[in-house]
Structure 1
Amino acid sequence: MSDDTIRLVTIGRILRRRWRLLVVLTVVGALAGYGTSVLFPPRYTASASVLLPGQWEERELLTQAEIATSSAVVDRAADTLRWSGVSGADLRDRVSAKAADGNIVKISGTAETPKRAQQLSDRVAQQFVTFAARIADDSTDSETDGGPEVLRQQVEEANRRITDLANAADPGQTVESVQVRTLLEKLRTSLEEAMKKLDEADPASNKAGMVVMGPAARPTGEAPPTRVQLVAAGALLFFLLTVVGHLAAARANRRLRTEPEIAAALGSAVLGTVDVPAERHAPRPHGRGPRARTRRLLGIDTRWDVPAPQSSGDEASRRTRYRRVYARLRDQLPASRRLLVVVPEGDETARRAAGQLAAEAGSDPSPSSSNGGHPLLRVVEVPVSPPMVPDRDTESGALVVLSAGSWTAGELAGIAEACADGGHEVVGAVVAGMVRARPTPSAGPSADDAAPALAGRGQATGGSV
């Protein structure tokens, strides 16, 4: 697997070559989201605000929010609502509370209808205020004997003693008497300020002053996730899963791309690489049955991970590559031999390359009328699973022609074994690559146009065969 799977160009290639499949699966995901919205009925949420006057710390506000959703409050709200089949335990999952800015506790209730959501939030807010006031009254009653009132009486007694001490001090204007009276006045002022702060921070008055800031507004829209959100989420989820699935499949791809890997799988050397010009309308694989028609309809009958063809030279440069490959084959086999050109079935690029190579073999000048010293080629397409190569007839070797990145090591090893079972020695391999041809001014037929006619299953092509 190459690094192309992590590039943006690879995702663009998926979108361009698998857009039909992506559209179909995105629609399926949208339908799945719609079905989910049908199974889960819509919910509505209303909110009521409770004001807590006075000074409150953040942790105290959080405590009040927890009290608002406690079973003591929610159970009392359920008793006042008297909804059929709905208990306090059921409402606990539908009620939430959070502390907002400005000493406000926001209580939210969720129900099947806007009216019920409004009623639920209002009742819970009312029960929360009632419960908090009850707690404040209980704490005030328990602190009557030894609480702030006793402290106030003690402060008043201390003020009287301070006054007595000030009167009993030396009425003269000595330094000591002035200092004593000054300290006593400071003590009196400190005690008065402390009592004033104590009155302002009285927790009983704070809790008793909680108030509901008006009834909850009736909701006009569904609470998330809405039906539209579920449909969009389903479509997006299926789209992303399809793209990720393609990337994972490409990452797990084990098709061979380099010449050393191909040579090792076949157990023979690679004689060279040839170019095949890409066709404007490439033929699609033919198949019968509903499965094949479905694959053609979704556009998954062809591979998407094949890189775009690169630019190549003109017709003359491409033919030069074929002549050089044939020359290497001829130098490797000096005697006149017939060779079987094996092309994996379904490899259109390799089939066209093999036909062109056979055409070059037929047009190569021969030192004698019987083509002595020049291998004669016969092209056959071989199924990959299971591979089956024709038995040896007059051929004394096999040349494998294939395209890079199309076959795994196991498939190529199977072709090599099938050649050995048929009595053919693999004398080499030729790798074909798809390129984007430059337009040529020549109007005459090229050798590529005749190449498809030279390749056929089990038919002899090239030379005088």
Structure 2
Amino acid sequence: MSDETIRLPIVAKVVRRRWRALLLLAVVGAGVGAGASAVLSPGYEAQASVLLQGPRQPDELLTQAQVATSSVVLDRASAALGLGVRGTDLQKSVTTSVAQGNVVTLTARGDSPEHAQQLADQVAGEFVKYSTQLLGNSADQAAQLAQQQKEALRQQITQTNQRILDLSKAVANGDTVEGVQARTALQGLRTALEQAVNNLNAADAATGAGNMVVLGPSERPSSPSAPTFLQLTLGGAVLFFILGVLAYLFRARTDRRPRSESEIGSALGAPVLASIDVAAASDAPVKWWRKAVGNERPWNLPEVPASADDAAREVRYRRVLARLGADRDGVLRLLILTPRGDAGAREVAEQFVSTARGDRIRVEVTVAEIEVVPGAQPIVPDGTAGVLVVVSLGSRNAWELVSIAEACADAGHEILGAVLAREVHLAGGTRQKPPAKERTDELAGAR
């Protein structure tokens, strides 16, 4: 899996073998999404629009939008609706935006459609009242100043028109120097006249710039706004499910343990003689939570059919002993090595001893457990017997297998072969137990 491209069949295998764990993650994600909805879900939203008449600058529109969410406006709206909360608390429920056409849009959020609609309409009404009040306080001074500006502009226009008439008469003299100067002055006067007319029009429009009107009542929302409670709940479930699949794929991608017979044989420098079935973890006592979520064994182990019965498994043990051969004196001297803590490999080693004793095979068997620690070479007993390495499939990385081979070479042993213990659901659902209760690592010279 570490060097294999992730394809849809691999994802399907993860879902098929870890569906209970992924389902549990989806339930947890749904709970997280439901809890997040209390913070992220806006509830129901209603919008009210206020039109600002007359020409407006962009900065002025932004200022009016800020006025709409000021504490004064929201305090008045809260008091009118009898909410009993301060305006600063309502600022989280009311937002504004500036649209084209001098329109300020107010968006109010509430826990019900009626609440959202009432809040939007009330805030819009209070906003218009407050802005009108602010403009009314300075209306007299503004009107007087505007009237003075209009009179000055009208006088400037009258004087300019008279001057244009005088210059027009002077231009009739022809192409003299005085005529050229008159035409130049006439062009300047026309420009001044156009500017004065524009200023007068702007002054006339400014008199109605303070007019504001609410563009009708807000529309009552028919459904909650996104993201809703259901959307966040489903989104959390899907997100945690996908994250679970990605976590399994990432863990398998970073796992460097060989899982094929050829790779394991290359690391040990010896052939793999057989793969022996042992009861899967689900058939043995394991932690209840691992069994509940179906996490008893690695999901990326190859699927293999289980042996039909105990008799079929006994045949495999006899065949391995027969393939190992015997010394010149007809006695098979064998050291079986199993990593410490590998229950499946230990079980297979004990079955080899039981099979040799039961068949009266001339064999001297010693079973030894070695401590395989990353970064350290294990200690193997000295001797001249051949070594049979028994490990569980996918339990050791390549460096640990190489360290076992080097330790055997240092102790003067030859690795005759390897046997892999692979977990399957055996018929009967129980682990095999050797008939003898004595320690197998003390069984030497069994015949």
Query: When the two structures are superposed, what TM-score results if normalisation uses the length of structure 1?
Result: 0.65
Distance in structure 2 (CA, Å) of the matches to 1:129 and 1:247:
59
Equivalent residue in structure 2 for 1:187, among 175, 189, 207? 189
**1:292-337 deviations in whole A, cap 9, x for unaligned?**
4x5344321121132567xxxxxxxxx9xx889957x879x99955
Shift of 1:45: 1.7
CA separation of 1:22 and 1:229: change in aligned 2, threshold 3 A: same
Whether the 8 Å contact between 2:61 and 2:104 is mirrored in structure 1 is yes
Return the letter of the residue paired with 1:151.
Q
Q: Which residue of 2 aligns with 1:444?
A: none
Q: Is residue 110 of structure 2 the alignment partner of residue 90 of structure 1?
A: no
Whether the 8 Å contact between 1:110 and 1:117 is mirrored in structure 2 is yes
Whether the 8 Å contact between 1:20 and 1:298 is mirrored in structure 2 is yes
Q: Which moved more, 1:158-167 or 1:13-22?
A: 158-167
Q: Which residue of 2 aligns with 1:153?
A: 151
CA separation of 1:429 and 1:270: change in aligned 2, threshold 3 A: farther
CA separation of 1:406 and 1:130: change in aligned 2, threshold 3 A: same
Q: Which residue of 1 aligns with 2:242?
A: 240
Q: Which residue of 2 aligns with 1:367?
A: none
Q: Is residue 298 of structure 2 the alignment partner of residue 303 of structure 1?
A: yes
Q: Map 1:31-430 onto structure 2 (within 5 A).
A: 31-34=31-34, 43-84=43-84, 86-138=85-137, 140-144=139-143, 147-165=145-163, 173-175=172-174, 180=182, 184=186, 187=189, 191=193, 194-196=196-198, 198-200=200-202, 204-205=206-207, 207-250=209-252, 253=255, 255=257, 270-274=269-273, 276=275, 285-288=282-285, 291-292=287-288, 294-307=289-302, 326=323, 336-343=331-338, 345-347=342-344, 351=348, 376=363, 378=365, 396=385, 398-407=387-396, 427-428=414-415, 430=417
Superposed CA RMSD: 5.4
Structure 2 SS opposite 1:216: coil
Shift of 1:158: 2.4
Shift of 1:2: 2.0
Shift of 1:216: 1.1
**1:395-424 deviations in whole A, cap 9, x for unaligned?**
9464212255313589879999999xxxx9
**1:363-392 deviations in whole A, cap 9, x for unaligned?**
9xxxxxx97xxxx47486969899xxxx99
Structure 1 SS opposite 2:283: coil
Structure 1 SS opposite 2:300: coil
Shift of 1:187: 2.7
CA separation of 1:338 and 1:136: change in aligned 2, threshold 3 A: same
Distance in structure 1 (CA, Å) of the matches to 2:404 and 2:300:
23
Return the letter of the residue paired with 2:415.
G
Which structure 1 segments of 5+ residues have no match? Answer: 310-318, 364-369, 436-451
Structure 2 SS opposite 1:230: helix
**1:156-212 deviations in whole A, cap 9, x for unaligned?**
222333354456569574226877489558735752564346524767446422211
CA separation of 1:211 and 1:341: change in aligned 2, threshold 3 A: same
Which structure 2 segments of 5+ residues have no match? Answer: 305-315, 374-379, 423-430
Distance in structure 2 (CA, Å) of the matches to 1:250 and 1:171:
99
CA separation of 1:338 and 1:143: change in aligned 2, threshold 3 A: same
Q: Which moved more, 1:246-255 or 1:208-217?
A: 246-255
Distance in structure 1 (CA, Å) of the matches to 2:52 and 2:366:
91
Distance in structure 2 (CA, Å) of the matches to 1:70 and 1:340:
86
Return the letter of the residue paired with 2:149.
L
Structure 2 SS opposite 1:407: coil
Whether the 8 Å contact between 1:56 and 1:103 is mirrored in structure 2 is yes
Distance in structure 1 (CA, Å) of the matches to 2:432 and 2:156:
121
Whether the 8 Å contact between 2:272 and 2:420 is mirrored in structure 1 is yes
Shift of 1:246: 2.5
Shift of 1:107: 0.3
Whether the 8 Å contact between 2:269 and 2:405 is mirrored in structure 1 is no
Structure 2 SS opposite 1:208: coil
Shift of 1:15: 1.1
Distance in structure 2 (CA, Å) of the matches to 1:325 and 1:300:
37
Identity among equivalent pairs (%)? 34
Aligned length: 405
Shift of 1:129: 1.9
Distance in structure 2 (CA, Å) of the matches to 1:264 and 1:276:
16
Whether the 8 Å contact between 1:97 and 1:106 is mirrored in structure 2 is yes
Q: Map 1:436-451 onto structure 2 (within 5 A).
A: none
Return the letter of the residue paired with 2:26.
T
Distance in structure 2 (CA, Å) of the matches to 1:230 and 1:300:
28
